[in-house]
Structure 1
Amino acid sequence: MTTSVSSAEDLARLDAVPLAEAIRSRKISPCEVVEAVIDRIERRDGPINSVCTIAREQARQAALAAEAAVMRGDPLGPLHGVPVGIKDVTPTAGIRTTFGSKLYETNIPAADAEVVRRLKAAGAIVVAKTNTPEFAAGANTFNEVFGVTRNPWDTRLSAGGSTGGGAAALAAGLIPLAEGTDFGGSLRVPASFCGVVGLRPTPGLTPLRPSALPWDALRVAGPMARTAEDVALMMSAIAGPSDASPISLPVTMDGLLEQMRNLSVKGLRVGYVDDVSGVGIESGIASLCRRAAHVLADAGAVVEDTVLDLAEGCEAFPVLRGAAVLLTHRSRLDQIDKMGKNLAGNIKYGQSLTLAQVVEAEAARARLWERTCAFFSRFDVLLTPCAPVPPFPVEQNHPTHIGGKPMRSYIDWIAPTYVLTLVGVPTASVPAGLDGHGLPVGLQVAAPRLHEATVLGVARMIQQLVPTPTIAPGFAA
């Protein structure tokens, strides 16, 4: 097999859909792809620190097997030979998985998480583990094991979190696909900061196993890539029923790529909301997102500026998050002094909660659901800014002001994403353009449950109508 791509650099930066097609048609060798990706990570990742472990031996063995399958003419999966980065909170067999924690610094799992098993079954090759805050607790990616991940668009700034390593690796052109998890915005916030596409699927579509909370629907596994088409391809590989998950839905996403390509936005009812959570928003971000939303009208959509008030979620989400964190780490309470301050603080907050607080949070969540249902009776799609602030200095744990006003809580700035977590609808962040400082801004696209094809079809249309570089300028060559 010989490559028709001009250089190994070009090969490493290919998106997943064309890469998978080139491998199937024998224009590109899986071994060449894996070597190009490993080489690019080794040479270019230093300034951003997105990758914490390179799975050299495993990836090379998988590439040899993938190439042999192509040459034999075996049936090939949709991701055959395509490299993927796995978030370092997701177990990978034989590949170090630290959870960003000193407690698991040398941990090497014996088995893959179900989402990794599915990716491998689809032919993907695990080439790296990507950096994360400790146990994914935080929206700025740093930990005491590997340090901080920086934004490829400006290495002085945060890449967001908690799937910050995956987003930064994509924006630097190091990998074509990244797996991640999303609780309060962990796929969407870093996608926004780094100018890529991250999808939080409908809970129950993708397996989150192993999990300390198998009945929980707040935390999900999901795909991230540079294009909505690549996200659809990856989502089709990881979605589907799982007997081992009690919240699993009897639904597959087979044909998702074709469905989202075929989506017509003509006549689609689109509701644009500036501030869905009531925390405020930087004016430049709002204007950029509003403009991107209204560009859909050029393709025939019916776009309306409207209101969806999910501000109650700002009180409910921290409570439900605190309870979930406490339950997740209840077996490690005697080791809390060995944890970072973010994770330890979240656990202690969970310990302080009363039953009355949890009950009221669930009641508020029910009210938010009813408002969301009413919204989607009028509109097919919700568009709203992803992050209310631009990427902030990487040394900060979080921003302190939104639109010049001090935040009430240190997690206020991710409220636009976590209020949509609470209502359980599929939501993606897609680039809406660059701000006045040349930094990407993400627009959230949400639709009713199980309407992933609509979410990704609209995201694809936005990428076509509002073209934004998918690789940061400093890494484009």
Structure 2
Amino acid sequence: MAEGRFSAVDLADAALARVEDVNGAVNAICTLNPQARDEAAAADARLKSGAAPRPLEGVPFVVKDNIETKGLRTTFGSLTRQDFVPETDGVCVERLRDAGAVLLGKGNTPEFAHDVVTTNRIFGPTRNPWDLRRTAGGSSGGSAAAVSAGMVPLSIGTDLGGSIRVPSAFNGLVGLRTVPGGVPIHPTDFAWDTLTSHVHGPMARSVGDVCLAMTVLAGPDARDPRSLRTVKPDYAACLESRSLKGKRLLCVRDFAGAVPTEPAVLALAETAVARLEALGAEVVWEEIPLDDLLKIVVGTRAFGMVARFGSVIETNRDDLMAQLVNQVEGSLKMSLRDVTEAERLRTVYWNRMRPYLTEYDAIISPATGIPAFRLDEALPTKVGGKTVERFYDTLLAAYAFTVVDAAAVVVPSGLTPEGLPTGIQIVGGRLSETAALDIAVAYERAYPELFSLPDIDLGVPLSNEVRATTGGYAIR
């Protein structure tokens, strides 16, 4: 851009043309920013005036529809907020705009970002660009599909139980679960929420793009008290990573059977580990038992569910989807003793996980136990030939590290025989994402063919019927 070969308006026009071509089928972007082209023109005018290019000058991006955007509708995927227009940007949007990026629109989300299937009563389902009959995952499904469909190179999602990591794996992307406080969150009603470990983070086509985004997104902000404990790492230095010689990696297949995993997914994860080993890493295979993880998840989530939505179901129950209502009602049945016991068990779990996180440079596992599933069919009841009692167990690998505040980056591990993307998660330490990003960069440089976008088959017959509903997966 600085050399005049193309302009920010050129980038915006290309993005908007791609949206015109494919978003009707994918339904990733639920609200377009009508000022996107004007914002791009302002970036061009700035450069023409002689100003130095900012880090993300003219780069179009999408932000999940549960993150506030000044003057642009932010619905949270809920009829209860369908007309809400914020007066301020969320911190991550503010920082991206200050760095020159152009907001193209909002990424679709399930209601209040509380489901693994991205659909809602306002906008309907988001579809996976690799196979439009399948889910893009959730809850950052719109943000993921917008990148996978080639509409934007960068998007922002949120992650608690895998809401960045699951869609990244399902869509063949790179997605980063940041450390709590690493990317400040504001506005929020619960700035001191240390129980649920909710974070914001980037999703992109490459690890390099994620690192570049983090140079802008990360760093303390007085409006988020959690962020004041963090020191901003040197994300640019991660881009120099080449060899993994001397790195010790603990590799996990299915957490001692706790995460039902399709053989094809596991085989691709094992191949990815072999690739890491070929780059010089020392690999140790060992299963990490999850024991009371589900009790911890349900108990700690109960705090957030009741605090955020307890009064909402009293006043707006008919406007809410069953997935959210069931989770809130399940949480309301829990006692204070249940919640405190979950937090005690979390400490026990941390003491058991701590040696793994400190004695190894990273932990590697499949990001999910399954690839993206069909929207028009009931959720899978068998995985790898075994009956699945709780569908959400197939995605429990994400929560295994959420509850200890660990950072994790998902990278592609290859395609199943059906042509569906899968991913591995690389889990680093608690206080920095760079340990995981260093490994991810070396992996990407050695195996760039794994980082690709799909050719979207727009001829697939589509239906807005969604039978793959969880009904409140975390509480069942």
**Same fold (TM > 0.5):** yes
Map of 2:446 onto structure 1:
465
Q: What is the distance in 1 between the residues matched to 2:249 and 2:431?
A: 17
**Please, what is the CA RMSD of the aligned residues?**
1.8
Map of 2:461 onto structure 1:
none
Letter in 1 for 2:307: L
Change beyond 3 A, Cα 1:110–1:416: same
Does structure 2 retain, via aligned residues, the 8 Å contact 1:308–1:371? no
Correspondences of 1:33-72 after superposition (within 5 Å)? 33-56=11-34, 58-72=35-49
Change beyond 3 A, Cα 1:398–1:115: farther
Q: What is the distance in 1 between the residues matched to 2:2 and 2:311?
A: 46
Map of 1:194 onto structure 2:
171
Aligned-pair CA distance for 1:33: 0.5
Does structure 1 retain, via aligned residues, the 8 Å contact 2:238–2:441? no
Map of 1:26 onto structure 2:
4
Query: Is 1:318 aligned to residue 298 of structure 2?
Result: yes
Map of 2:212 onto structure 1:
233
Change beyond 3 A, Cα 1:25–1:262: farther
Does structure 1 retain, via aligned residues, the 8 Å contact 2:255–2:287? yes
Q: What is the distance in 1 between the residues matched to 2:446 and 2:242?
A: 15
Equivalent position SS for 1:210: coil
Change beyond 3 A, Cα 1:127–1:268: same
Equivalent position SS for 2:364: strand
Equivalent position SS for 1:473: coil
Aligned-pair CA distance for 1:397: 7.0
Q: What is the distance in 2 between the residues matched to 1:256 and 1:369?
A: 27
Map of 1:372 onto structure 2:
353
Q: What is the distance in 2 between the residues matched to 1:103 and 1:316?
A: 29
Query: Is 1:157 aligned to residue 138 of structure 2?
Result: no
Correspondences of 1:215-364 after superposition (within 5 Å)? 215-217=192-194, 218-253=197-232, 255-262=234-241, 264-276=243-255, 278-332=258-312, 333-364=314-345
Change beyond 3 A, Cα 1:316–1:254: closer
Letter in 1 for 2:186: R
1:253-300 per-position Cα deviation (integer Å, ceiling 9, x unaligned):
464123343364111111110123713211211111011012112111
Map of 2:474 onto structure 1:
none
Q: What is the distance in 2 between the residues matched to 1:100 and 1:94?
A: 17
Map of 1:78 onto structure 2:
55
2:433 aligned residue (452, 455, 467): 452
TM norm structure 1: 0.91
Aligned-pair CA distance for 1:185: 0.3
Runs of 4+ in 1 over 6 A off after TM superposition: none
Change beyond 3 A, Cα 1:185–1:84: same
Q: What is the distance in 2 between the residues matched to 1:377 and 1:258?
A: 22
Change beyond 3 A, Cα 1:250–1:79: farther
Aligned-pair CA distance for 1:75: 3.0
Change beyond 3 A, Cα 1:26–1:453: farther
1:100 aligned residue (65, 77, 97): 77
Change beyond 3 A, Cα 1:234–1:153: same
Letter in 2 for 1:125: V
**Count of aligned positions:** 453
Q: Which moved more, 1:433-442 or 1:278-287?
A: 278-287
Q: Which moved more, 1:448-457 or 1:394-403?
A: 394-403
Aligned-pair CA distance for 1:401: 3.1
Change beyond 3 A, Cα 1:24–1:270: farther
Equivalent position SS for 2:169: helix
Q: What is the distance in 2 between the residues matched to 1:356 and 1:405?
A: 35
Letter in 1 for 2:185: L
Q: What is the distance in 1 between the residues matched to 2:306 and 2:17?
A: 41
Q: What is the distance in 2 between the residues matched to 1:254 and 1:426?
A: 13
Aligned-pair CA distance for 1:470: 2.2
Letter in 2 for 1:294: A
Change beyond 3 A, Cα 1:465–1:311: farther
1:87 aligned residue (64, 74, 92): 64
Does structure 2 retain, via aligned residues, the 8 Å contact 1:384–1:443? yes
Map of 2:419 onto structure 1:
438
Equivalent position SS for 2:202: strand
Map of 1:429 onto structure 2:
410
1:8-58 per-position Cα deviation (integer Å, ceiling 9, x unaligned):
xxxxxxxxxxxxxxx2443220011101101110111111111101113x2
1:184 aligned residue (161, 180, 200): 161
Change beyond 3 A, Cα 1:320–1:375: same
Letter in 2 for 1:383: I
Question: Which ranges of structure 1 fall in alignment gaps of 5 or more residues?
Answer: 1-22
Aligned-pair CA distance for 1:252: 4.8
Equivalent position SS for 1:271: strand
TM norm structure 2: 0.91
Does structure 2 retain, via aligned residues, the 8 Å contact 1:296–1:465? no
Does structure 1 retain, via aligned residues, the 8 Å contact 2:365–2:424? yes
Does structure 1 retain, via aligned residues, the 8 Å contact 2:173–2:451? no
Does structure 1 retain, via aligned residues, the 8 Å contact 2:128–2:145? yes
1:104-156 per-position Cα deviation (integer Å, ceiling 9, x unaligned):
22221111111111111111110111111010010110000000011111111
